[in-house]
Structure 1
């Protein structure tokens, strides 16, 4: 009975991974690369680098927006994105000859270094890993479901693997890697060793992946995790044609006064007369993402119409803003990114070694079956 039980768990361990092996491996690999998407952008695109040889202080964001407006007088600026200090700020706008464009502006010199009207590397890698570039229709993407469902595969493979691999904790104190006992033995040792040392990482990726799957279901069901940005009430719009809206600098000052540790990262400007400033950013909480603070500010009165911060989030919102830093390893900058990258490579390697082991056993079983059949036929003919 024990042998049947062990065989059952072993087969289940294989079936948790093998039917979707190629997708699982691809998701692991793209996620590993996506961890360093910002650094790779800096490496591959000189126009995205925020060079500062003279050690100048960063210019105010409103001044950079004004630079773009001067360069493109007829442009309608909608969004400002702030990344790491070594990358440019990105100002998104539309113009009569540009349906959608991104101005890469150096935050120290104020120079517009590039106008990008295509896909960015950061956006491409996150889309490739997040939903395999499947289109979004009616608020959902089949690719997003497919990728996030890999969390079930990962968790199932982890649980069954620990059941199959008896006394797995010995790999922590006495790691074994037998180089000279054949390919199969080496692959088995590599697969087991990587799996045991990656238990924490597998649990973390499974938990965040299950959250992304839950989030997809909520989106598909039109259940809002965060409320939509409010609009200015028509009754409160100014009657005078001379009324002036607050500029971006004033809106940022209001946000800074409300949350002293507010660090802007994603700023949406009003799109119409009833539109509001929607300012998103991070703070001093390392476990929350860079969108944990959100303020909607009335551009006519300066009133904060709605706000969100780690102090007043509900449970769903808290999980939502904790998931990305834990999934991509942005908790402590380059150090945790490097750690996540290494274990991402291990996870990708585990999927490959697991497939090779399965392929080897399958080939052996086929050869054995053929050999048994040949012997049976020979015995029949002899009789």
Structure 2
């Protein structure tokens, strides 16, 4: 009975991975690259680097906006992204001939180093890993479902693998790799060793992936995790028959945000999209387990009143999961240190998906071929019938 259960677990473990192993391996590899997408951008695109040889302070967001408005007079600015200190700041804008563009500004020198009108490497890798570049239909993407469903594969393979591998904890104290016992045994040892040392990583990927799957279902059913503020009251809009009145300045909005969220580092500044919309200013506080947009404030652009404030302290469970999933999934918790750890274990997981297929093929395909060969060797030979031009004796030769 024990042998039967073990065989059933092994088959179940294989089926959790093998039918979709190419897709799973691809998702693992792209996710591993996505962990270092910002660093790869710095490495491959010199215009994305924020060199600061004179050790200058970073320019404030209003000054970055002024630079774009001065250099590109027709620009209609929508957002400003503040990235890592070694990367440029990105100002999103549009003009009559550039409907969707990003200005890469060195935040220390104020120089516009590039105008990007296509998809960035960071966005490309996150999209390729997150939803395989499948199209979005209003609030859902089948690619997003496919990728997030891999969380079931990860957790299923982890549970069945631990049930198969008896006394797996010995791999922590007495790791064993038999290099001279053949390819199958060596791959099996590497697969088990990688799996045991990656238990925590597999759990993190499985749980965060499970949240992404839940989030996809919420989006698809139009369930709002956050209650967005109501549009600005009509009475707040100034009445004018002449020129359009101006909003309060970005500098004023940012000052209001700083006064209300003094410990938050601003990472995203967004203009109102219409007259009854708000300035939205997002940032990250002192807790590294929350993402760069976990704190957010909505400011009325006409009178500076605060429509809504979001902070980790006021979040419910779903809201908290929304903002801690990415740092845990991509390893941005402690910057380059945790990114390096996540990148390494991402490589291990990618290797395990490939080695798992090789082990399965050697255990399953090779015996199947051997069985076929044995059957063929025992099969009686069928001789062709004699023809009028040959005798039976010539046929047997």
Q: TM-score, normalised by structure 2?
A: 0.93
Distance 1:38 1:30 in 2: 14
Q: Does 1:368 align with 2:370?
A: yes
CA contact (8 A) 1:230 1:276 kept: no
CA–CA separation in structure 2 for the residues paired with 1:349 and 1:216: 28
Aligned positions of 1:17-32 closer than 5 A: 17-32=17-32
Could you list the per-position Cα deviations for residues 178-204 of structure 1 after superposition, in whole angstroms to 9, with x for gaps in the alignment?
Answer: 111111111000000000000000000
- Structure 2 CA distance, aligned partners of 1:10 and 1:96? 61
- Residues 118, 204 of structure 1: CA spacing in aligned structure 2 closer, same or farther, 3 A cutoff? same
Please tell me whether residue 264 in structure 1 is matched to residue 261 in structure 2: no
- The SS at the match of 1:176 is coil
The answer to whether the 8 Å contact 1:229/1:278 transfers is no
SS at match of 2:301: coil
CA RMSD of aligned residues (A): 1.6
Alignment correspondent of 2:315: 313
In structure 2, the partner of 1:85 is: 85
CA distance in 2, matches of 1:306, 1:30: 37
Q: Which moved more, 1:236-245 or 1:272-281?
A: 236-245
Structure 1 unaligned residues grouped into runs of 5+: none
1:375 offset after TM fit, Å? 5.4
Given the alignment of the two structures, is residue 161 of structure 1 paired with residue 146 of structure 2, yes or no? no
| Cα shift readout 1:194-250 (whole Å, capped 9, x = no counterpart) | 000000000000000000000000000000112235421112211245754211111
2:394 is aligned to none
Instruction: Tell me if the contact between 2:28 and 2:349 (Cα under 8 Å) persists in the aligned partners.
Output: yes
1:113 corresponds to 2:106: no
How much has 1:97 moved relative to structure 2? 0.7
- Structure 2 residues not aligned, in runs of 5+: 383-397
Cα distance in 2 for partners of 1:379, 1:118 equals 66
Deviation for aligned residue 1:370: 1.1
- Secondary structure of the residue aligned to 1:17 is helix
Partner of 2:97: 97
Task: Report 1:184-263 matches (<5 A).
Answer: 184-240=184-240, 243-263=245-265
Shift, 1:40, TM fit: 0.5
Distance in 1 of aligned mates of 2:327 and 2:13: 29
Cα separation, 2, equivalents of 1:229 and 1:249: 22
Which residue number in structure 2 is paired with residue 353 of structure 1? 355
Task: Determine the C-alpha separation between the residues in 1 that align with 2:165 and 2:255.
Answer: 58
| Contact kept? 2:236, 2:303, Cα under 8 Å | no
Length, aligned pairs only: 381
What is residue 147 of structure 2 aligned with on the other side? Answer: 147
1:336 to 325, 335, 338: 338
For residues 45 and 108 of structure 1, what CA distance do their matches in structure 2 show?
18
CA displacement 1:327-359 (0-9 Å, x = unmatched): 000000000000000000000000010000111
Q: Find the aligned partners of 1:171 and 1:262 in 2 and give their Cα distance.
A: 43
Q: Secondary structure at the match of 1:264?
A: strand
Which one has the largest radius of gyration?
A: 2
Contact 1:230–1:296 (8 Å) recurs in 2: no
Q: Give distance in 2, aligned partners of 1:32 and 1:322.
A: 19
Asked whether the 8 Å contact 1:195–1:350 carries over to 2, the reply is yes
Moved more, 221-230 or 146-155: 221-230
